[in-house]
Amino acid sequence: MSAERPIYLDYAATAPIDPRVREAMLACLDELPGNPSSMHGPGRAARARIEAARAEVAALIAAPADAIVFTSGATESDNLAVLGAARGNASRGRHLVSLRTEHRAVLDACAELEREGFRVTLLTPDHSGRLDPALLAGALGAGTTLVSVMLVNNETGVLQDIAALARVCRAGGALLHVDAAQAAGRVPIDVGALDVDLMSLSAHKIHGPPGVGALYVRREPRPTLTPLVFGGGQEGGLRSGTLALHQIVGMGAAYALARREGVAESARLAALSARLWRGLEALPGVYLNGHPLERAPHILNVSFEGVDGEALLFELESLALASGAACSAERGEPSYVLRALGRSDALAQASLRFSLGRPTTAEEVDEAAARVQRGLARLRALAPA
């Protein structure tokens, strides 16, 4: 094992819980034992905490509180949006459109719908990772009921022009779902200005607890959704089951912190990301993946020519980072996102995703760049291309 001090640079996979969020959750566990669906005093107190958290989540994306549906995480939110909207609107059409670079939670939900007889069109973005609105317009037809596009790509950090894509969806009569798991708290979001119908959110990407997320569901006009979970009718009938009180309170606390501190924190992360790239870009055979400007502040994805990807990760074991999305790591294959952007299998495999978070310091960024430089030089000396 490496004797170097570990440096965590995988905040896009999960961000450790902020101590202030932990305090809010512990207070909730100690003080509020009631079921939020119960009508007695403890139940009403628990419900009040739920609604306060709902308001905080809504405020971060400039939405009304009653448009927020709590789920177990962004994966469930993606599934509820994609499967629920497709099945709920099947009488109008059975065609969906998405991107080849979407999260597996969307792509696998689309694959399930194909098995049910729906038709799915997966579009390829340009080499920068951005989707041309004209390409989307050409893919829509009379039977298209849903378009699903990520706001911030989880591997490259590329930002999509959601407002422009929404105009295409409105003209084509299709609903628009946006996965904003990597965007919330990192870039400004106004669901009204973006004109989206559905938006998936996560807690643990911005220093909240894992196991909780939310789906924004537009109120007017309200999209038709078929629920995935049935039972007690909680969350407006869209997500039955006893609400995870302390986790929802934690999500609310994390979103409140992001609303108060997000602008300054995003500027700080953007500066650190640029600093890290300056430490890497002068190296030979190093390529930035994704658009150089239209990107989230906390994600930097880089490919390294002439080295084996697994060897590179092993060489840099003191750096906690990813070679792609955490949920796709077990597949052991080159990133499908980077291949869709035109990278070769070799470059896609030899890529690293650096993602920064609230605890990240300039000293850590500089040390990470130095370790990459040393590791790359060592690997290239051992096995020159």
370: which DSSP letter? H
DSSP per-residue letters across 225-253: ---S--SS-TGGGTS-S---HHHHHHHHH
User: Which pair of tokens denotes residue 116?
Assistant: 């049910």
Q: Is 327 a catalytic residue?
A: yes
Tokens of 59: 């405020």
Number of Cβ within 10 Å of residue 342's Cβ equals: 14
Under a CB-based contact definition with an 8 Å cutoff, are residues 190 and 184 in contact?
no
Residue that is written with structure tokens 């796709």 in the block:
328
Cα–Cα distance for residue pair 57/180, rounded to 1 Å: 13
Q: Any idea which residue has 């390294």 for tokens?
A: 304
Helix extents (H) in the chain? 19-31, 41-60, 74-88, 104-115, 133-139, 162-172, 191-194, 245-280, 309-315, 336-340, 345-349, 362-382
The dihedral built from the CA positions of residue 286, 269, 128 and 155, taken in this order, carries a sign that is: positive
C-beta separation of 62 from 188 below 8 A: no
Q: What is the CA radius of gyration of the chain?
A: 21
Q: Which of 28, 110, 169, 327 is catalytic?
A: 327
User: Quick one: which of 175, 156, 183, 38 has its CA closest to 100?
Assistant: 156
Q: How far apart are CA 156 and CA 295, in angstroms?
A: 8
Closest of 251, 348, 250 to residue 305, by C-alpha: 348
Please name the amino acid found at residue 101.
T
**Is 116 exposed, middle or buried (CB count within 10 Å of its CB: 0-12, 13-18, 19+)?**
exposed
Point out the residues that are catalytic. Answer: 327
